[in-house]
Amino acid sequence: MANKEILLVADVFANEKEIDKEIIFQAIESALEAATVKRYEQPIKVRVDINRHNGEYTTFRRWQVVDVNPEINGDVEFPSWQVLQEVAQFDQSDIQVGDFVEEEIESVEFCRIAAQTAKQVIIQKVREAERRKIVEAYQDRIGELITGIVKRIEKGNVYLDLGGHIEAYIAREDLIPKEPVRMGDRIRGYLKDARLEPRGPQLFVSRTAPELLMALFRLEVPEISEGLIEIKGAARDPGYRAKIAVKANDPRLDPIGACVGMRGSRVQAISNELAGERVDIILWNENEAQFVINAMAPAEIQSIVVDEDKHSMDVAVATDSLSQAIGRGGQNVRLATELTGWELNILDAAQVDKSQDETSIRAKNEFMELLDVDEEIADILVEVGLSNIEEIAYIPVDEMLEIEGFDLELVEALRSRAKDALLIKAIASEEQIETSAPSEELLALEGMDENLAHELAAKGIVTVDDLAEQAIDDLIDFAGMTEDRAGKLIMKARESWFSDEQQ
Domain count, the chain: 4
Q: Is 178 within a domain? A: yes
- At residue 435's C-alpha, the angle toward residues 430 and 440, to 5°, is 120
**pLDDT higher at 436 or 274:** 274
Domain identity same for 384 and 362: no
pLDDT digits (tens, 9 = 90+) for 233-266: 999 999 899 999 999 998 888 999 999 999 889 9
pLDDT band at 208 (very low <50, low <70, confident <90, very high): very high
Q: Is 151 within a domain? A: yes
Domain identity same for 11 and 109: yes
- pLDDT at position 499 is 60
Choose one of 192, 208, 224: the last residue of a domain: 208
Domain identity same for 357 and 468: no
351: Cβ contacts below 8 Å, ≥ 6 apart: 498
Rounded to whole angstroms, the Cα distance separating 107 from 111 reads 11
pLDDT band at 353 (very low <50, low <70, confident <90, very high): low
* CATH code of the domain in which 47 resides: 3.30.1480.10
Q: Among 39-43, 204-208, 425-429, name the one with the lowest average pLDDT.
A: 425-429
Residue 46: beta bridge partners? 61
Q: Is 43 within a domain? A: yes
- At residue 99's C-alpha, the angle toward residues 97 and 103, to 5°, is 130
Amino acid letter, 315: V
Radius of gyration of the chain (CA): 39
Domain identity same for 415 and 475: yes
Q: 323-356: b or e for each residue (b if 16 or more CB lie within 10 Å)? A: ebbbbeeeebbbbbbbbbebebebbbbeebeeee
**Average pLDDT of the chain?**
82
* CATH code of the domain in which 458 resides: 1.10.150.20
* CATH code of the domain in which 161 resides: 2.40.50.140
Domain identity same for 16 and 35: yes
pLDDT digits (tens, 9 = 90+) for 18-69: 677 887 788 888 888 888 888 888 888 999 888 888 888 889 989 888 887 6
pLDDT band at 150 (very low <50, low <70, confident <90, very high): very high
Choose one of 327, 351, 370: the last residue of a domain: 370
pLDDT digits (tens, 9 = 90+) for 266-323: 999 999 999 889 999 999 999 998 999 999 888 888 888 888 888 888 888 887 778 8
**pLDDT higher at 427 or 78:** 78
Q: Is 65 within a domain? A: yes
Domain identity same for 149 and 109: no
Q: Is 274 within a domain? A: no
254 and 239 Cβ atoms separated by less than 8 Å: no
* CATH code of the domain in which 334 resides: 3.30.300.20
Domain identity same for 90 and 202: no
- pLDDT at position 278 is 92
Could you give the 3-state DSSP secondary structure of residue 150? strand
Reply yes or no on whether the pLDDT at 436 is more than 90: no
> Range of 10's domain?
3-131
Domain identity same for 98 and 33: yes
pLDDT band at 73 (very low <50, low <70, confident <90, very high): low
Domain identity same for 484 and 450: yes
Domain identity same for 36 and 93: yes
Q: Among 153-162, 212-221, 370-379, 444-453, name the one with the lowest average pLDDT.
A: 370-379
Choose one of 164, 182, 208: the last residue of a domain: 208
Domain identity same for 402 and 319: no
